[in-house]
Structure 1
Amino acid sequence: MRLKSLLVFIHLLFVLLTVHAQTKITGKIIDENAKSLNGATVIVKKDSTASVLAYAISENSGDFSLNVNSEGDSLILKISYIGYEPFKKIIKNENQHLQVNLKPSSESLREVIVESKMLEQRGDTLSFSVDAFKGKEDRVIADVLKKIPGIEIMPNGQIEYQGEPIQKYYIEGLDLLEGRYNLANENLNVDAVSKVEILENHQPIKVLDSLEFSERASLNIKLKKDVTLSGTAEAGLGASPLLWKAKVTPMIFTKDQQAIITYQANNTGNDLSREINDFSFNSFGSSYTIDQQNWVSLLNIPEPPFSEERWLDNNAHLGSVNFLTRIGKDYQLKTNISYLNDSQLQEGSRQTSYFTPNDTIAISEVTRNNFYINKLTGKLTLEKNVEKDYLKNQLEFKGFWNSERGNLQNLENTVFQRVNSPFKAIKNTLDLLKPIGKQLITFNSNTGFKQTEEELVVNPGQFPDILNNNENYDQLNQLVNSSEFFTDNSAGFTKALGQFTITPKIGFSFQNQQLNSRIRTNGILEDSNFRNQLDLFNNEVYFKNAIRFKTEDEIWNLRLSTPLTFKNIKVEEYGNDRESVERLLFEPSLYLSKKLSASWETSISGNLNYNFGEINRIYPGYIISNYRNIQRYDAPISERQSQNYSYSLSFRKPLSQLFATLSYRFSKTRSNLLFSSTIADNGSIILNSIAQDNFSNSHNLSLTASKYVSDLKSTLKINGSYSLISAERILNEIVTEVENQNLKAELSIDSEIFEWLSANYDGSFNFYGTALDNTKFQQIKNHQHFLSFYIFLADNQYLDIAGEYYGNSITEVDENYFLNLGYQYTFGKSGIDLNVSWNNILNTEQYINVSSSDFSYIQNTYRLRPSQILASLKFSF
C-alpha cells in the first residue's frame, strides 16, 4: 500500500511539471569576434517599470536559458556585460532561441579607477573579494570568512553555508586536507588569498557532474600567486603562571604540489585538537567508520560555552604533515599524518537535580580530573578525478593511547578514579567509476577493523547493594575489550535516459562485533550478571536504486531512492546462539527541490529507515560506565523505525549580499525497547531496558540570515532555532512522558564604524525546559554577550578591548563578567607582529553554567585560568 501511494505521489509531481505553462527563452551571447561570453547577466521584464520576471547568467559556452511566466504578448530582454554596451530588445512572449552580439563599449574615460568588487557571480559560483572584507586586525583566512554573509564557522571549526556544512574545502581546486581544513583556515595568511569562492550545488566527482546533482556547497580558496609560500610562525611568553606558546606552519602551493606542515605547542589554553578535526563527507554513503566508542570514563564537567583559553589548563603539542603531489597528468597522491600529545587539568564542581514522577533528587560533586591524550591519525590517498574516470583509494589509520585520572568529592566520601583506553583502527576505502559504453560502471569497497581495551578503576568500590554480596569494599575494576571487523562492497552502474538518471547498485556487507567485559571487586571476579562475552554478526545483501530527474533549465530536481535490504543479525553469547533477526527492509527516500525564481528556492524530503541495535545495546551483563552509572540491556535486539521529513525555503540575492534559509524537520520513531532508569538518593543510576513498543517525536525549526550592508561596512548575521522532543521513559519504575524544549537565538554584528575603529558583537539567548507527564519543572534561561573594539592608533598598531557577560536564571551567582585587553604593533613591512594580551583582567575565578538533559538539570562550576599577561611575536608570510 505504501509503495502504491508513493507511485501515485510521484505521478502527480510529474503531472504538475507537464501542465505548468511557461515560455522558454534560450540563446547564445558572443562578442564582435564571435567569441562566447561567460558570465553575462540576462534579465527579462514585462515592461520597463515592472519587476524582473526571470534572471540568468551565461555559461562558459555563452549559452543561457530561462523560463518566463507572463500573460503579456511581449517582453523586454536586457543583457549586460562589463566592458560592453548594454543590450535591450522587445521580444515576443513565445518559445525562441536568440543569438546576441555585444559590442565593446566605445566610451572614452579620462581617468580609470580600479575598484575591487566585493562579490561576483558566475553561474553557481559566488566569488568574494578577500581585500574587500579584510580588516586591519585580520591575519588568517578564518578571520575574513567569519565576516562573509552566508558563511558561518562553528565553535569546532566546521564551516557552514546557508545553514548546511560544506562538503569540500579546496585550495586552488585541490583538496589537500581531506576534511581537516582547520589547519589551513587558522594558519593561511590572509594577504596570500585573493578570493573565496562558494561553489553552490557542487558535485565533487567530475564524471558525475552532468548525471547527479548535489544540493551541498563547497569552498575554494583562490591565491594571488601561481606559486605561493605562506604560513605563520609564533613564539610567546607570559606569566601567572609561567606561560609559553610556539607555532611554525609553513605552506607551499604550486600547480602540481601543495604542502602544509605544522608544529604547535602551548600551555595557554589553546586546544590544538581543534585544528585536526575531520569534517570529510563519504560520497557513497557507507555507514561504517573507525571512530572510537568509549565504554567507560571519568565523571567530568562538559565544556563551557566560551573560548577554551578562558578555562583549559593544558600542556599540548601537535605535529602534522600534509602533502599533495600530482603523479602524471591525472593522479594525485595525498599524505595526511598528525600526532597530538596533550595533558589537561580540569577542576570544578557540578550539582545535579534528577526529576522523577515522585521526587527530585539532588547531588553535589567536586571534581579534579587529569586527562592524558596521545593520538596518531593518518590518511594515505590516491585519487584520479577527471571528466571520464574516477578512482579514489584511501587508507586511514588511528592509534590512541589515552588515560584519565580523577579525584571526586561527594556528600559521602572521596572517590579516586582511573581510566585507560588504548584504541587502534585501520580502514581502506576504494571507489571506482569508469565509463563502459553508454553507462558509468561503479564499484565501492569499505573494509576496516578497530579494537579497544578499556579499564575503569574506582576507589572505594561502588554499588554495594548489588556488588560484593551487598557489603562495602575497597576497589572496583571494570574491564571492557571490544573489537569490530566490517566490509561493505557494492557494484552498479549509472545511466542517463534523457532528463532521468538511474543508478542501480547491488552489494553485500558483513560486520562482526565482539564484546568481553568483567567486573572485579577487591580483585575477585563477580558472577555472570556482571560479565559479558558476546559476538554480534550483521549480514546484509542489498539492492539500491536511485532515480534522478532534472529539468533542462534546472528549475526542478528530484531524487528518489528505493533500497531493498535483506538483513540477518545473529547474537552469540559465550559461544552459543542467543537470538537472531531476519528482515527484508524497504527504506525509500525522496528529495524534491524547485527554483521558484532567481533568488528563491524550496525543497522537501522524506525517508523511512530502520536501525537495529549494535553491541552497545544488547549486552545482558552489567557494565559500569562511570563511578555512579551502571547499565545493561537484557532484552531482545533493539529495532527502531524512523520517519523523517523536512522542508526548507532559501533566499539568496548575491549581488545584494543577502542570504536566508528557513527549515523545518520532523521525526517520528518507533522502538521495541523502553529504557528504564532507577535513580538512587546518592545519584547512582541503574539503566535497564524492557521489551515494550514506544514512540518518540522530534520537531526542529531553524532560521539563518545574513546581510552585508555596504554603506555601514557591516555584516549582520541572525540565527534562531526551536526544538521539541518527546519520548517515553521509565523513571523509578513509573512510565513517564519526558518532554524537552530548547529555544535559541543568536545575533552577530561585525562593523567598521570608522577608519580608526571597528567593532564586533556576538550575543545569544538559550531557553531550556523539561516536563514529565505535562508537569513542568524549573526552566533555564542562559544568555551571553561578547563585545570587542579594535582601535587603530596608527596603520601599524591597534588596541583590542573585549568584554564578555554571561548570565543565567537559576543560580545564586547568576552573572559572570570578563574583560580582556590587547595591543599589537607591526614592524614596518616585515610582517612581524608584536602582540601583548592581558586576559581576565578582573581575575574572575569561576564560571557557573546550567544545562539540561532528558530528565535532569546540571549546574556546572568551572575553575578558570587566573589573570595573566602574554607577549608574543608572530610572523605571517
Structure 2
Amino acid sequence: MTMKKVLSIFFMLAFTLMVFAQKTISGVITDGDGKALASASVTVEEPGKNAILAYGISNAKGEYKVTVTSSESNLDLKIKAFNQKPITRSIKNEDQKLNFSMDSQATEIQEVRLKTKLITKKGDTISYDLKSFENKNDRTLADVLKKIPGIEVNKDGTVLYQGEAINKFYVNGKDLMEGGYGTVNNSLPKDAVSKVEVLENHQPVSILRDKVPSEQAALNIKLKKSVTMTGRGEIGAGFSPLLWNVKLTPMFFGQKNQWVVNYKANNNGESVENEGNLLAFGNRWEGKRSQVSANRWLNVEQAQTPDLPEKRYLLNNVHFFSANLLTSPFKNKEWELKANVNYTYNDVERDSHTKTAYDDIPANNDLAGRTLEQSRRNDFYTNSAKAELIFTKNAKKGFFKNTTTWNGFWNTNNGFSGLDTTDENVPYISGNQSLQSPSGSFQNSLSTIIPWKDKLINVMSYFKYQKDKQTMKVNPASYTDYFTGLSTIGLYDTYRQYALSETLEVNHSASVGFTFKKLTIIPEIGLNMNFNNLKSLLSGSKDNIYMSLAGRNQNDVDWNELTPYTQVSFNYKSDRLNMNLTLPVNFYSIKYQDNLYNQLADKTKTALEPTFFASYDFASFFKYWVFASQSYDFGNFGFLYGGNVLTSAGNLSQRYVSDLSNSKMPEYLNRNVGTRLEYRNPLNNLFFNVRYNYGTMKRNIVETFATTGGIGGSIGIEARENSTKSQSESAEIGKYFPKFKSNISTSFTNSDSNSFSFFNENFIESKNNVQSWSAKFNNTYFSWLSIDYNISMNWRTNKNATKSTSQKSSGWSHNLAAYIYPSDNHTFGFNWDNSVTSTQGNTYKNPFYDLSYQYTWVKKKIDFELKWLNITNQKIYETVAVNIEQGNTVTQSYKIRPSQFMFTVKFNFK
C-alpha cells in the first residue's frame, strides 16, 4: 500500500467520522421569568433506552449545544436544573435550534445526602475523585493513579493519558518539578489529595492557550488545602544479606512558595535515583530542554537484566538527594523562580550467563552447530550531580523562561567476562575490563513571547557545551584478539582505548504570530549550529609500557552542522477542532572531516519536513486525531570515523565507508502517518482508544557485523540502498464499575516491521510480527479484601526473508496482589509474580511469591510492615529467545535477589 493511498484512507475516515450522521442541537434555556439558566444539564437518548448519546451543560448565558450521532429518526432530549421542573421532549434527529423555558419547582428535602461524583467533565478538564479509586493499602498518589480508568503509569514513572505521555504535572496549578515529577508522584500522601484533574489538549504557555493547540494532556493535582505541609517517610532494615531502606520526603505547597526535599537510600533493589529523570518536557515554546546523559563511546561488556520488577534482581547500594524550590520573588506573582539540585551515588552489581546455540547452516561458517557459553559480572559505580535554575513568567500578556542547567558525571564501570565453547580447539577465554568516564555539560535555554499590538513576537536561544572523556582497559589483550582479529597475540598484555569528545550546540530563532479570529499564522526563521570533535587512541601495554598499535587505530574527526531554516505554522483552535500544520524548509550543510586519514565529505540538501496534527471532538464524548510527518536524518556525531575504536572488550568498530563521497554520507528519509479515535465518557466511566500508525524509512547505509568467536566481532557500515516499513494497530478500553468498585481495562497491539543488516557478509532482510495483549483488574468491593491483577502476553514471529526461515516465540507474565483487612489495624498481603518464555519447545517459568503483614497505628497514621520477599528463595531467572538474523537460539540466566526479610516503619510528615 502506497503512502498516498494510506493518506487517502485516513482523511476519508476522518471526514466520515466528522460528518456522517452527526446532528447539532443548540438553543437557550431560561427560567419562568425569562432569565438565563446556567449549569442546566442537557442529555440526548434513544427512545426506550437509558444509554446517553450526548451530554452538555448550559453556560452563564443559558446557551447549550450538543452533537449527536445516531441512526434513529427520533430522539429524547432531557433537561434538568436545580429547583426547576425537568423537561423531556421527543425531537427529530436533525440539525435544529430549540429554546426552553423551565418552570420553578420547589422541593421539600427531608434528608440530604452528599455524594461525590467519581468522574466529572467540564470543557477540556476531566476530574477524578481520588478517594473513589483507592483501597486500604494505598498510601501515595502513584498507588491510586494506577487504578484510574484512562490513566496508566509506566515502569519508569511516566504517566500516560489515553496512551500518550502527559506534558505537565502540576500541584495546585504550579509546575514545581519541571518534568521530574517522579518524586512527588511516589511520595505525596494520597490523603492530602482531593482530586486529580486531566487537562486535555493542554497548552502550557498561557498567552498561546487560545491560539496554538496542543496534542498532549496535563495532570493537575488538587490538594485538600491551599496551604499544605505534608510528605512521606520510611525507615526499614532486614537481612539476607544485611538490608536497609531510608526514604524522607517532606513537602510544602503554598500559594506563593512550594518546595520538596528528598533523600532516599537503600540496598534492597529499588532504583530511587530515577525519580530525578525528566518525564515531561512541556512544549517547544518553553525553549529546548532534554534529559542530559554522558556520551558513551566505550562500554565494558555488560551482564543482561531480566524483564522483571527491579526488586527481584537489582543488587544496589544507592543514595539519592534532591531539592526543588519554587517561589514568587516579586509582588507580581506572575514571575516565578525555581531551583532544582540532585546528587546520586549508586553501586550496582550484575551477574548473567548466556548460552548461544548456532544452527547447523553453512551461512554461519565456522559457527555452524557450535554452542557458546559466556558469563558476565559487573560493578557499576555512578556519581552524578545536577543543578538547575529557572526564571519564568507565564501570563496572558507575555511569556519569559530562562533555564540554566549544569550536569556532572564521574562514573567507573568494571566487568569480567568468560567464554567457553564446544569447539575443542578453542580454550576457555576470560577478560577483565575497567572504564573511567568523567563527563560535564552546561546549557542555557531562553524563550520569550512579547505581545505587540495584535501580534506575538517570539525569540528563542539555546546554548550547550559538553565534554566527555573515557578510558577503557582490557586485560589480557588476548581476550580481545580472539573476537576482533586484531592479530597482536603475544605483543601486548593489556589494551587501552581512550576517547575524548567535545560538543558545542547553538540554536537561535525568531517568529511573529498573526491571529485572524480562530486562525494563528506563525512565520519563523532560525539557525541551528552543531560543532563536534572526537579524538581516540587504541594502545597496548607490555610490562606496563603503553605504545600505539600499528594501523588505523586512532581518530581525530570533526562533524559540523550548519542548518538555517525558515518555516510557517498554521494553527486553528475552536471549541471542537484543533489543528496544526507546520511547513519548515531546512537548508542542511553537514561537513565530515577526518584529520588523520584525509577523508572529507560535505552534505548539502534543502529539505521540506512538514508535520501535521488535527483533533476533532464530536458526539460529546468522541475525539478523532490525525497525524502525519516527513523528516530527514543525515546521521549524527559519531556515525562516521576513519580509525578503529574498541567500543567494548569484544567489539571493534570500523565506521567508515571506502571511497567516501557525498553519496556515501548517511541519508534517511522518514515518513509517518497515524490516526487515533478516543472515547471518554465520565457519565458511565468508560474510556477507550483505537490507533493505527504506518511508517517508512528509506536508507542508503546498512549496519554490518562480522564474528568468528560468536559473541563479539567487528561492527561497521556499508553503502547500500534499502527501505523499511512498519505499521501497528492497537486498541485499549477501560471501565470503572462503581456498584462493584471494580476497574477493568484491556489492550491489544499488533505490529509488523522489516529490517536489513549484514551478518558475516550475508545481506539479510528480517521481517517481524509482534502481538501483545494485556489486562488489569482491581476490586475493593469487600471492605475486608482488595485485589489487583495484571497480565500481559506476547507472540512473536521472526522471519529471515532472505533464506525463507522463520521462528516463533511467546511469553507471558502476570502479577497478583491481594490484601486482607480483618480490622482497621491489620493488613495481610500476598503477591504472586510469574514470567514465562517459550520457543522451539523450550519453556522457562519463573514464579515468585511474597508475603507481608502490616500493623497500622490509625490515630498517628503510622504503618509497621514486615515483608518476606521471594519466599521460595529462587536465585536464577531464565529466558529463551531466537535471533533469526544470526541463526541462533539464546538462553539467558540471571542472578537475582535471594529470599529476604524487611521490617519497615512508614509514616506521613503531617
TM-score bin, normalised by smaller chain: over 0.9
Can you list the C-alpha shifts for 1:655-712, whole angstroms capped at 9, x where unaligned? 2111111112111111111222112234222111122211111122222221112222
Whether contact under 8 Å (1:65, 1:553) holds in the other structure is: no
Moved more, 2-11 or 143-152: 2-11
Whether contact under 8 Å (1:782, 1:850) holds in the other structure is: no
Moved more, 275-284 or 5-14: 5-14
Rate the CA distance shift 1:176–1:851 in 2: closer, same or farther, 3 A.
farther
Moved more, 611-620 or 46-55: 46-55
1:318 deviates by 0.8
The match for 2:580 among 521, 544, 559 is: 559
Rate the CA distance shift 1:863–1:467 in 2: closer, same or farther, 3 A.
same
The match for 1:301 among 281, 300, 303 is: 303
The match for 1:384 among 369, 387, 393 is: 393
Whether contact under 8 Å (1:57, 1:123) holds in the other structure is: no
Rate the CA distance shift 1:9–1:588 in 2: closer, same or farther, 3 A.
farther
The answer as to 2:842 corresponding to 1:821 is no
2:829 corresponds to: 800
Alignment partners' CA distance in 2, 1:407 and 1:509: 43
2:511 corresponds to: 492
Whether contact under 8 Å (2:843, 2:880) holds in the other structure is: no
Rate the CA distance shift 1:491–1:58 in 2: closer, same or farther, 3 A.
farther
Structure 1 gaps, min length 5: none
Can you list the C-alpha shifts for 1:397-456, whole angstroms capped at 9, x where unaligned? 211111111121111322101011111111111111121111111111121111110122
1:482 deviates by 1.1
Moved more, 778-787 or 731-740: 778-787
Alignment partners' CA distance in 2, 1:103 and 1:254: 45
1:561 deviates by 1.7
Residue 358 of structure 1: SS of its match in structure 2? helix
Alignment partners' CA distance in 2, 1:35 and 1:535: 74
1:49-64 superposed matches below 5 A: 54-58=54-58, 63-64=63-64
Whether contact under 8 Å (1:618, 1:638) holds in the other structure is: no
The match for 1:434 among 450, 463, 466 is: 450
1:472 deviates by 5.9
Rate the CA distance shift 1:22–1:136 in 2: closer, same or farther, 3 A.
closer
Whether contact under 8 Å (2:14, 2:624) holds in the other structure is: no
Whether contact under 8 Å (1:467, 1:526) holds in the other structure is: no
Rate the CA distance shift 1:5–1:236 in 2: closer, same or farther, 3 A.
closer
The answer as to 2:863 corresponding to 1:863 is no
1:238 deviates by 0.9
2:838 corresponds to: 809
1:51-450 superposed matches below 5 A: 54-58=54-58, 63-67=63-67, 77-81=77-81, 85-88=85-88, 106-284=106-284, 289=290, 290-327=292-329, 328-352=332-356, 358-359=363-364, 362-411=371-420, 412-450=428-466
Rate the CA distance shift 1:840–1:393 in 2: closer, same or farther, 3 A.
same
1:61 deviates by 6.5
Alignment partners' CA distance in 1, 2:31 and 2:229: 38
1:662 corresponds to: 690
Alignment partners' CA distance in 2, 1:656 and 1:107: 27
1:508 deviates by 0.7
Can you list the C-alpha shifts for 1:698-727, whole angstroms capped at 9, x where unaligned? 122222221112222111121222222212
Whether contact under 8 Å (1:66, 1:553) holds in the other structure is: no
1:577 deviates by 6.9
Rate the CA distance shift 1:212–1:34 in 2: closer, same or farther, 3 A.
farther
1:512 deviates by 0.5
The match for 1:622 among 644, 667, 670 is: 644
Rate the CA distance shift 1:431–1:40 in 2: closer, same or farther, 3 A.
farther
1:714 corresponds to: 742
Rate the CA distance shift 1:584–1:5 in 2: closer, same or farther, 3 A.
farther
1:501 corresponds to: 520
Rate the CA distance shift 1:838–1:659 in 2: closer, same or farther, 3 A.
same
Whether contact under 8 Å (2:157, 2:279) holds in the other structure is: no
1:451 corresponds to: 467
Whether contact under 8 Å (2:748, 2:772) holds in the other structure is: yes
Rate the CA distance shift 1:40–1:161 in 2: closer, same or farther, 3 A.
farther
CA RMSD of aligned residues (A): 3.1
Residue 142 of structure 2: SS of its match in structure 1? helix
2:556 corresponds to: 533
Can you list the C-alpha shifts for 1:515-540, whole angstroms capped at 9, x where unaligned? 11111122221245121111111001
Residue 304 of structure 2: SS of its match in structure 1? coil
Moved more, 134-143 or 349-358: 349-358
Residue 131 of structure 1: SS of its match in structure 2? helix
Residue 736 of structure 2: SS of its match in structure 1? strand
Residue 656 of structure 1: SS of its match in structure 2? coil
Alignment partners' CA distance in 1, 2:54 and 2:741: 30
Can you list the C-alpha shifts for 1:593-638, whole angstroms capped at 9, x where unaligned? 3334223322222211100111221112111221112212212321
Can you list the C-alpha shifts for 1:288-333, whole angstroms capped at 9, x where unaligned? 8543331111222333222211111111111100111123321111
**Normalised by the size of structure 1, how large is the TM-score?**
0.93
1:589 corresponds to: 611
Rate the CA distance shift 1:116–1:837 in 2: closer, same or farther, 3 A.
same
Whether contact under 8 Å (2:501, 2:535) holds in the other structure is: yes
The match for 1:746 among 764, 774, 778 is: 774
1:828 deviates by 3.0
Whether contact under 8 Å (1:672, 1:693) holds in the other structure is: yes
Residue 779 of structure 1: SS of its match in structure 2? strand
Rate the CA distance shift 1:644–1:14 in 2: closer, same or farther, 3 A.
closer
Alignment partners' CA distance in 2, 1:643 and 1:51: 41
1:789 corresponds to: 818
The match for 2:620 among 585, 594, 598 is: 598
Rate the CA distance shift 1:274–1:504 in 2: closer, same or farther, 3 A.
same
1:812 deviates by 6.0
1:832 corresponds to: 862
Alignment partners' CA distance in 1, 2:725 and 2:7: 27
1:652 corresponds to: 680
